[in-house]
Amino acid sequence: MSSRGQLSAEMLILLAVILAVLVLVASQLVKTSDNAVKTIDTNSGQVFNISDQAANSSSACTVDQDCLKGQRCGSAGACVS
């Protein structure tokens, strides 16, 4: 009967170890997702700012192809002749 109790104790210890590992993995996933959310918020804010600038200014550019024919993209991010 003692071997049966020993097996049960070993199973409980193994279960506790597995649960501890799962808790550690879950906490790391939560930290990673929090960092991802912050990064996405920052990047999407930047994208919205750039798109707002482009919508409000028809001459906003980053490369010459953004400008009308015969114009080029100036150093201030505006199309110039």
Structure confidence at residue 1 (pLDDT):
47
Q: Residue 65 is part of which domain span?
A: 2-80
Give counts: helices (H), strands (E), the chain.
1, 2
How high is the pLDDT of residue 14?
94
**pLDDT tens digits, the chain, 81 residues: what are they?**
456 667 788 899 999 999 999 999 999 999 999 999 999 998 898 888 877 766 665 567 888 888 888 888 888 888 888
Q: What pLDDT does 4 receive?
A: 66
Structure tokens at 51: 């798109």
This prediction's pTM: 0.48
- Structural domains in the chain (count): 1
